[in-house]
Amino acid sequence: MMRFSTLVLTGVLIATVGTVSATAVDCAQDQASMNLCVKQHFEASDLSLNETYRALMERVSREAKGQLLRAQHARQVSRDAQCAGLTRQAVAKAVQAS
């Protein structure tokens, strides 16, 4: 079931990224306008992803929900560990450069 949850989330993310990519070309050319445009597209995509997630969670079994939540937690732990490692590397390089 973990594989099913991963596939479902991957599909949702691909659909969301596709929406952002298709509309991102509408952004203006100066940096401030591009930043605002990307922020607006991100917020719209985040809202869409949250709505899709809520709809998915209403349709899956209790067991699948538990598996999905465990997979999300494992991903967050992995992401946090990776970020911490990259931060330590960046700090070490900055200290060496100074």
Enumerate long-range contacts of 3-12, CB under 8 Å, 24 or more apart.
4/64, 4/67, 5/64, 5/67, 5/68, 5/71, 6/71, 8/56, 8/68, 9/68, 9/71, 12/49, 12/52, 12/53, 12/56
Domain count of the fold of the chain = 1
Share of the chain above pLDDT 70, in %: 73
What range does the domain containing 72 cover?
A: 2-97
Query: pLDDT by residue (tens digit) across 28-76?
Result: 788 999 999 999 999 999 999 999 999 989 999 999 999 999 999 999 9
